[in-house]
Structure 1
Amino acid sequence: MWGGAAEPQAWGAGRAEPSRAVLIRAGVTENRSDFEDLHLYATPREQRFRRFASLEFEGQLYMTPYDFIQAVTSDEPKRKQEFKMLKLLGRMSRELNQILMETPPVWKGSSKLFRNLNEKGVISYTEYLFLLCILTKPHAGFRIAFNMFDTDGNEMVDKKEFLVLQEIFRKKNEKREKRGDEEKRAMLRLQLYGYHTPTNSVLKTEGEDLVPRSYWDTLRRSTSQALFSDLAERADDISSSLSDTTLLVHFFGKKGKAELNFEDFYRFMDNLQTEVLEIEFLSYSNGMNTISEEDFAHILLRYTNVENTSSYLENMRCSIPEEKGITFEEFRSFFQFLNNLEDFTIAMQMYNFASRSIGQDEFKRAVYVATGVKLSPHLVNTVFKIFDVDRDDQLSYKEFIGIMKDRLNRGFREAPKYGWKEYYSCVMTVTSEHLRDLWKQFRRRDMLR
């Protein structure tokens, strides 16, 4: 339920189940109590991924593109819980390859990529986190993201560079794991990351001295971007042991030899943001070019911690008696503003607006100056009518920002952040820790000689 109203029909709801020549539904591979027990050791994002993922491959859980869209646009999975997992028939590698054959190259991408792929794709947990991160990032942050992956600075990203993402999230997970039953935590690691043991032991081959290896042996970073010169001598061996996914094939081709340039990377991120917004908009528009102001309010208040949404909705109904409607362009521009919310917050603090309420003209001007996004007068008026509870045509900055941060992060504010700033901080932390470990190992070896 959204603010007392029935949840709209989401994309794909009510349609016939897609044909599965190679996939068949199977029961959950672990019993219900075990499945719920693991939730106790999982973060909110991990819990949501496990709840929506419908594919299991060699013990690791994956989402289909359909699952991902459902996870970011629906409150609960449309499928029954007993059909949580999907098993592949026959030789798993052959069946997985048949699914990945449906993946188009990145230059053929569009804002309907996930809808077109539907059930014919696999998305890992680390890729799920990456895609969530994209949904909340401003366009200006796309270049920063690309530079983070472009570790050799050649303006191209290859598959090995992209796989650094998986290693970073694995390391991040090891640092924040909840204490408790080691067996349960090992099962959770297998489901989400596809491994049992700590990453260092995975990166060591037989016969080697116990010197841990990682993707970060040498740090050469300017102030703007971190460059890792030695991206693991055995990166080919590591990547070949991982199952290919839809995202890897989309970016780097079926053979994994293609490279990703910034233009294609930017277009992919922009298309993903547009696709999710289109799905949310279309779920309310019923084929029309606009959604009602009340529907817009429902969407804004979704995923927030607002308990009494009815007061906001009633306030808006009284303030906007005649419906004009919100177009998709207005809808999209507002969410582009939300993706720039951090810059807007800083600007408001600099101009001392954070300590008082502001009017519509001030708000509209501040949004444009801080983010470069132009909001239509009707859209600004609608936002004010939703949040101006005391009806003085002023907006409470603190309350508005708090609610919008919830909406931006889709209800995961309490979860660990995976923004680009946190991404960089994580990289620096893991790098320094790894270098310290290496130094200790080398000193120990020298003492034994």
Structure 2
Amino acid sequence: VSWVPLQKKGEFGVLSSGSGGRVLVWVVDSDQNRLVLNAAYTLRNQQLPHSAGSKVRGSGTVGVSALALSPWDPDTFLVGSEGGLLLRCSFSSQVLAAGAPEDRSVAPRAPAVFSFRTTSGPVHSIHCSPFHRNLFVSAGTDGLARIHSLLQADPLLSVQVSDSYVFQVAWSPWRPLVLAAATGRGEVQIFDLARRSLRPAATMATGGPDSTATCLAFNHQNPRLVAAGNSDGSTEKIAQEREKFADEDSIFYTLGECGLISFSDYIFLTTVLSTPQRNFEIAFKMFDLNGDGEVDLEEFEQVQSIIRSQTSMGMRHRDRSTTGNTLKTAGCSSALTTYFFGEDLKGKLTISSFLEFQRKLQHDVLKLEFERNDPADGRITERQFGGMLLAYSGVQSRKLKQMQKGLKKMFKDAQGITFVEVENFFTFLKNVNDVDTALSFYHMAGASIDKVTMKQVARTVAKVELSDHVCDVVFALFDCDGNGELSNKEFIAIMKQRLMRGLEKPKDMGFTRLVRAMWKCAQDTAWDFAMPKT
């Protein structure tokens, strides 16, 4: 059973289903204090969509074993069957169910409008994503959790949860790509698909050694809590561990419960990752209204607002009261404001402390990206390092595969790359504009841009030492003709895209545009003075 919203705002009915192939909608009769049948649906094999009907025989009913409502579309509900069918259905269907008696006051209708790929056994659970309109997950006796789109028959992804049954799957209400599964082995498995790994991020045992985890539920008030029910009749409250970061002193441990942050903080932090230090220095000086070298919360919020508005992502998600997208923090303290200004929000923030925060943030995010590749003995493969360099690059997928394939072939039995080597190279990249200038000088002087030149530029511009092995990998990626010289134009363009992290355009905090506007105004004024008076 499940509550279902009715057409009249604020009213709910009860949705029920069973093995007899019927889905019923009941409404509450307040006068008689009982449930009254409002709508009926019957699933029969001969009235299923063709893609599913071809896999079943006879004219019998479809035993319903799982049911889910779409939080995005009140007309859509999903049905899983004992025979492995997975169907998208519509409450507004007007097709009468086959064999339905004509004398009934509520005539059963045939609701199925689309069929997904069938499974090898009963479907035990379906859950629609609270974050993605067309995404849902299903699971059953084959031990797989299948991620589906409402728009296509085949699953997008299949995750091996257990070698036993999976009795329930559920999306996290807190994190868009996190889901949990209750298994016949008595375990609750937590998967984080954002890690690009199909292995469980956490496994939590429930009940006794012979018990089965039959159901689960995330807590909608506390992101760390999950409740699980067991076959022995017991229920348990399971506390998830805090998000584990690579370093014990990671800055994310101080930003919110379980490493969670607000949407407004996310927009700001994404911008911080890709913005040069000098731009922040200018922004702080512009909004340090009293000139004491510090900014208070009110001044910092002005800095935040300007920074967000200058990013393509910030502009896409700017305040819109009609859609519910709001970045305003008035009246409440976010994780960032508490971090910078204390619990009472009366502290002061200096540019030096903010730049140190930016440095730690960039270090922690880079370490997370490094750890995501599952390093062996503290090293990742050359191909994985190449993948880190080419992320957000915009390189066409065919060329990207060719570049990575070349790396794998060239460094088949190589030594791997440590985090220190990775961090040194990305420190070098943070100064990409100065690197571009330095390499251009070499090019104009007629000197080739070889590995020795790159190491010299890194020492001069970024004060870091690049290892010979890292240089070998970089040149293997960007030495197009194999002559030992760097293709400077393509290298710089891709590295700038990498630093921007897909934000699409540079951030100038409005300062560059302010200077351009002043220059244009001066030109117009000078032109007015130069024109003869009539």
Shorter chain as normaliser: what TM range?
0.5 to 0.7
The whole-number CA distance in structure 1 between the counterparts of 2:518 and 2:131 is: 34
- Determine the structure 1 residue equivalent to 2:327: 193
In the other structure, the counterpart of 2:424 is 333
**2:262 aligned with 1:136:** no
Partners in 1 of 2:444 and 2:515 — Cα distance? 35
Does the CA-based 8 Å contact 1:354-1:397 persist in structure 2?
no
Question: CA shift at 1:354, angstroms?
Answer: 10
Distance of 1:158 and 1:72 partners within structure 2: 36
Partner SS for 1:298? helix
- Shift of the 412–73 alpha-carbon distance from structure 1 to 2, 3 Å rule, reads farther
* Matching of residue 165 in structure 1 with residue 303 in structure 2: yes
TM-score, structure 1 length as denominator? Answer: 0.55
Q: Report the counterpart of residue 225 of structure 1 in structure 2.
A: none
- The superposition leaves residues 350-377 of structure 1 with CA deviations (integer Å, 9 ceiling, x where unpaired) of 4435999621112222333333333122
User: What SS does the aligned partner of 1:192 have?
Assistant: coil
Does 1:412 pair with 2:499?
no
Partner in structure 2 of residue 252 of structure 1: 341
**Could you tell me which residue of structure 2 aligns to residue 304 of structure 1?**
393
Deviation at 1:392, TM superposition (A): 1.6
1:401 and 2:401 correspond: no
Q: Is 2:370 aligned against 1:281?
A: yes
Whether 2:367 is the aligned partner of 1:367: answer no
Deviation at 1:153, TM superposition (A): 2.2
> Are residues 286 and 35 of structure 1, via their aligned partners in 2, closer, same or farther at CA, if it must alter by over 3 Å?
closer
1:148 Cα deviation after fit = 4.6
| Contact 1:337–1:367 under 8 Å retained in 2 | yes
The alignment partner of 1:385 has SS state of: helix
Q: Counterparts of 2:274 and 2:407 in 1: how far apart (Å)?
A: 26
SS of alignment partner, residue 373 of structure 2: helix
Distance 2:513 2:248 in 1: 31
Structure 2 equivalent of residue 227 of structure 1: none
Which structure has more relative contact order (CA 8 Å, sep 6+)? It is 1
TM alignment of 1:353-364, pairs within 5 A = 358-364=449-455
Tell me whether 1:291 sits opposite 2:429 in the alignment.
no
Q: Following superposition of structure 1 onto structure 2, how do residues 139-288 of structure 1 map, counting pairs within 5 Å?
A: 143-144=281-282, 146-168=284-306, 186-188=321-323, 190-194=324-328, 241-286=330-375, 288=377
Query: What letter matches 2:325 in structure 1?
Result: Q
Decide whether the 8 Å contact of 2:261 with 2:335 is kept in 1: yes
Cα distance in structure 1, aligned partners of 2:262 and 2:516: 24
In structure 2, distance between residues paired with 1:354 and 1:312: 29
When normalised by structure 2's length, the TM-score is 0.47
Distance in 2, Cα, partners of 1:86 & 1:127: 23
Match of 2:108 in 1: none
Report the structure number with the largest CA radius of gyration.
2
- Over the aligned positions, Cα root-mean-square deviation in angstroms equals 4.7
Give the deviation of 1:145 after TM superposition: 5.2
Residue type at the aligned position of 2:433? E
Where do 5+ consecutive residues of structure 1 fail to align? 1-26, 38-52, 62-69, 80-84, 90-101, 103-108, 179-183, 195-238, 433-449
Deviation at 1:124, TM superposition (A): 4.5
Between the aligned residues of both structures, percent identity stands at 29
Q: Aligned-pair distance for 1:294?
A: 1.6
Kept in 1: contact 2:283–2:509 (CA 8 A): no
Change (3 A) 1:304 1:86: farther
Deviates further, 118-127 or 256-265: 118-127
- Aligned partner of residue 268 in structure 2, secondary structure: helix
**8 Å CA contact retained: 1:126, 1:166:** no
Q: Which residue is equivalent to 1:22?
A: none
Query: CA separation in 2, counterparts of 1:73 and 1:405?
Result: 24
Q: How many residues align?
A: 302
Taking the aligned partners of 2:248 and 2:291, their CA distance within structure 1 comes to: 27
1:443 aligned partner: none
2:410 paired residue number: 319
Q: 1:251 corresponds to which letter in structure 2?
A: F
Q: How far is the alpha carbon of 1:87 from its aligned partner? A: 6.0
Q: Structure 1 123/161 Cα, relative in aligned 2: closer, same or farther at 3 Å?
A: farther
Kept in 1, the 8 Å contact 2:478–2:486? The answer is: yes
Shift of 1:407: 1.6
Higher mean displacement: 27-36 or 371-380: 27-36
For residues 69-103 of structure 1, give each alpha carbon's deviation from its aligned partner in whole angstroms, at most 9, with x where no partner exists.
x9997799x99xxxxx99659xxxxxxxxxxxx9x
Structure having the higher strand fraction is 2
CA distance in 1, matches of 2:353, 2:384: 34
Q: Which amino acid aligns with 2:322?
A: M
1:424 to 2:511 alignment: yes
Give how far 1:121 is off. Answer: 6.5
User: Structure 1 residues 278, 122: closer, same or farther in 2, change over 3 A?
Assistant: closer
Q: Does the Cα contact within 8 Å between 2:271 and 2:311 map onto a contact in 1? A: no
Q: Verify the 8 A CA contact 2:478 2:491 in the aligned structure 1.
A: yes
Q: Contact between 2:284 and 2:303, CA under 8 Å: does it hold in 1?
A: no
Cα 1:274–1:345 change in 2 (3 A) is same
Q: Is the 8 A contact 1:337 1:371 kept in 2?
A: yes
Structure 1 CA distance, aligned partners of 2:434 and 2:221?
46
Would the aligned equivalents of 2:308 and 2:315 in 1 still touch at CA under 8 Å? no
Deviation track 1:303-354 (CA, whole Å, cap 9, x = no partner) reads 2222222221232234334311211111001111111111111222344359
